[in-house]
Amino acid sequence: MKQLTKCFFVSDLHGRQEKFTKLFSAIKEEKPDMVFMGGDLLPSFYSSGDAGEFIRSFIGGALYKLKRELAERYPSIFLIMGNDDPRIYEEAFISMEKEGLISYMHFKKKLNGRYIIYGYSCIPPSPFMLKDWEMYDVSRYADPGCIHPADGSRSVNTGEQAEFGTIQKDLQKLCDEKDLSASIFLFHSPPYCTSLDRAALDGKMIDHVPLDVHIGSIAIKRFIEECSPYITLHGHVHESSSITGAWKEKIDSTWCFTAAWDGRELALIRFTAENPSDATRQLL
C-alpha cells in the first residue's frame, strides 16, 4: 500500500511562544513528513535585535532539538515570511536553511518526494505601513484606505520592484510549469473573493466609499483558476474563518486551506498530500 505523506500547516503565529510550543510538541509526537509555516511568524512588538534572537534562539533552538531527537524522522519544514515580518530578518531564516533546519521558500520551488513545493510571501496593498512583503496585485491600484507599496516603509531596499512589480508578474516568473498536478503552493495571501479572505470590514467606509470586505489577491485567485495547482496554503486574514465558518475551499480541482485564526489557540491543519479532501483543523 502506498505510504501517505502526512503534512502540518500553520500560519500567523505572530511570535506567540505558546503556539510555537504546541506546534513543536505535535511535530515530536506525530512525526509528520512535511510542515508548512505560512508567514507572520515574528512578534511585532520586538525591536530589531530581539526579533533576530527570537528566530535564532527560540525557533532555531527548538528545531535543532527536534532534529536531534527525531533524527531521520525530522520533517521537511517549508517556511515563508508574511507582511508583518520585517524582511531584514530574512537572513536569519536563510541561516537556518543552511543548517538544514528549514527550507526558506519565498520565490522558490523545491522538489520533495513526489511533490513540488512553491513559496510566495507577498500580499496586495494594505493599510499597514510596513511594505517589505507588499506588491501591487494585477495593476497599480490600491483599494481605498490602503497605502501604496511605494509609499510605506521598508526594512530592506528592493529598488523599483515596489513601484512597478505585481503579484501577477511574480507568479508568472515563479511558475513556468504546465502541469501543476503535484504542486503545493505556500502563500501568505489568500485568493480574492473566497471564504478565506473575508475581513471584518462590514459597513466601513472611506470618503463615502464602502470598503471591500474581501482583501485577498486577485492574481492568486486567477492563478488558481487558470493553472490548477494541486494544493494551496494561505494565511493573513485572521478573522476569515470566524466570519465565514470555513477554513478550506475548493476552486475547481484545487484544494485551498487557511491556517490564519483570530483566537488564542494554535490552528493546526493536518492533511495528507495524497488525500487533501480529508484535511482537518484542530484548535490547540
- % of the chain beyond a pLDDT of 90: 88
Neighbouring-strand partners of residue 118:
185
Residue with cell 495528507: 272
Neighbouring-strand partners of residue 168:
none
Domain boundaries, the chain: 6-283
3-class SS string, the chain: CCCCCEEEEECCCCCCHHHHHHHHHHHHHHCCCEEEEECCCCCCCCCHHHHHHHHHHHHHHHHHHHHHHHHHHCCEEEEECCCCCCHHHHHHHHHHHHCCCCEECECEEEEECCEEEEEECCECCCCCCECCCECECCCCCCCCCCCCCCCCECCCCCCCHHHHCEHHHHHHHHCCCCCCCCEEEEECCCECCCCCCECCCCCCEECCEECCCECCEHHHHHHHHHHCCCEEEECCCCCHHHHHCCCEEEECCEEEEECCCCCCCCEEEEEECCEEEEEEEEEC
Q: What pLDDT, on the 0 to 100 scale, is given for residue 160?
A: 59
Q: What pLDDT, on the 0 to 100 scale, is given for residue 1?
A: 57
Say how far apart CA 4 and CA 279 lie, in whole Å. Answer: 13
**CATH pick for 6-283 out of 3.40.50.10490, 3.60.21.10, 3.40.50.300, 3.30.230.10:** 3.60.21.10
Q: Is the pTM of this model over 0.75?
A: yes
**Do residues 199 and 214 touch, judged by C-beta distance below 8 A?**
yes
C-alpha grid cell, residue 64: 535543532
Q: What pLDDT, on the 0 to 100 scale, is given for residue 229?
A: 98
- 96-132 pLDDT, tens digit each: 999 999 999 999 999 999 999 999 999 999 999 999 9
- 21-48 pLDDT, tens digit each: 999 999 999 999 999 999 999 997 544 5
Phi and psi of 247, rounded to 5°? -115, 0
Is pLDDT at 161 greater than 90 in this prediction?
no
- 180-196 pLDDT, tens digit each: 999 999 999 999 999 99
